[in-house]
Amino acid sequence: MVWVVLILAYLFEFANGWTDAPNSIATVVSTRVLRPHHAVLMAGALNLIGALVVGTAVAKTIAEGIVDPNVVGLETVGAAVLGATLWALAAQYYGLPSSESHALVSGLLGAGYAAGGLEALEWEGTSKSLLGLVTSPLGGFLVGLILMVLIYRIFVRVRRATVSRVFGRAQIVSAAFMAFSHGTNDAQKTMGIIALTIALDRAGTAGEVGDLSIAPWIIVSAAIVMGIGTMVGGWRVVRTMGMRMTHLEPVQGFAAETGAASVITAAAHFGIPVSTTHAIGSAIMGVGATKRFSAVRWGVAGQVVAAWILTWPSCAALGFALQKLFAFVA
């Protein structure tokens, strides 16, 4: 069972890099600052670096803060990861930006409740995830909007062509920051799952779950798998995030990426699992709203938000059902 769960965990990490990669490069591709293949290669490399050099606070939140390791079993982790992966791939098929972060957390909550009721659920990590659910879209929207207003005021007397040239170069830096921040937060979720899986496997013989530290090999392997997934890319989501929601120029792309990346990096420091999708999507809305309210295609934005809202009950239900199925088969 431990090998099955580990394979599912790495499949989830690959899908995470595959479906979330467009969120970190959508704006730089849509503004034509970078070609798609160049953007994907850059995002893959910086996802890997971000996952390797930042701490493991988010990983520890996932490993021990969502479900009680002494109540759940390997099938619980497997159910949560499989449910989150199925949800991510379905969202990718329909071209909707999905939140693998919240898919995984809600899947763990659903599977944990199926395994041990309320006793299996931990409030500390769940509260951090709920905090991230609120702060990442709100923070992304506000920071993106504020940055855009400041840029407009600073460059109000500068020619439009000069502004486009300056921020065409600056957006390469902001896109790199966005890809790096994605690795700092998203890659850690699978690190936490792998650490929990190993601890549960060892507890099968020891009788009690012990150390849940994140070993170096876990960090390296999860980072590499996410980097590979990122390099595969997902262009339907690029189109939704970077082209359909609002028209973006390099200056708007810079503000959106910088705002979203700042929110994600700050959350990783405090061990708060947040969604790259939520942060960049709301930052794009905030940037677009500075031009005029109607500049944002709110119908498309509404579809994206609906997918975010549906993630929690859908993945919790998937986790619950798969946990019951795995327990019955076992």
pLDDT digits (tens, 9 = 90+) for 178-235: 889 888 888 788 999 999 999 888 886 545 776 788 888 998 898 888 878 777 765 5
**Exposed/middle/buried for residue 35 (C-beta within 10 Å: 0-12, 13-18, 19+):** exposed
**What is the reported pLDDT for 313?**
92
Q: Are 280 and 200 in contact (CB under 8 A)?
A: no
Q: How confident is the model at residue 28 (pLDDT cuts 50, 70, 90)?
A: confident
**What is the reported pLDDT for 22?**
61
- Please state the rounded mean pLDDT for residues 296-303: 65
Integer angstrom CA distances of residue 213 from 8, 100, 189: 20, 22, 13
What's at 217, amino acid-wise?
A: W
Which residue has better confidence, 30 or 121?
Answer: 121
| Calpha distance 27→296 (Å, rounded) | 14
- Own/partner contacts of 206-213, CB < 8 Å, gap of 24 or more, are 208/70, 209/69, 209/70, 212/60, 212/63, 212/64, 212/69
**What is the reported pLDDT for 149?**
92
**What burial letters (b/e) apply to 100-110, b meaning 16+ CB within 10 Å?**
bbbbbbbbbbb
Phi/psi of residue 121, nearest 5 degrees: -100, 140
Decide if pLDDT at 120 tops 70: yes
Which residue has better confidence, 184 or 81?
Answer: 81
pLDDT-wise least confident of 28-37, 73-82, 125-134, 261-270: 28-37
Packed helices 160-206 and 36-53: angle between N→C axes, nearest 10 degrees: 50
Rg (Cα) of the chain, in Å, rounded?
19
What's at 176, amino acid-wise?
A: A
- Please state the rounded mean pLDDT for residues 103-125: 94
Decide if pLDDT at 296 tops 70: no
Where on the phi/psi map is residue 218: left (φ > 0), alpha (ψ -120 to 50), or beta? alpha
Q: Are 112 and 71 in contact (CB under 8 A)?
A: yes
Q: How confident is the model at residue 21 (pLDDT cuts 50, 70, 90)?
A: low
HSE of 186 in the Cβ direction (CA atoms, 13 Å)? 41
Neighbours of 6 (CB within 10 A): 20
Decide if pLDDT at 148 tops 70: yes
| Calpha distance 171→207 (Å, rounded) | 53
Decide if pLDDT at 308 tops 70: yes
Which residue has better confidence, 300 or 320?
Answer: 320
What is the model's pTM? 0.84
Question: What percentage of the chain reaches a pLDDT higher than 70?
Answer: 87
**What is the reported pLDDT for 249?**
81
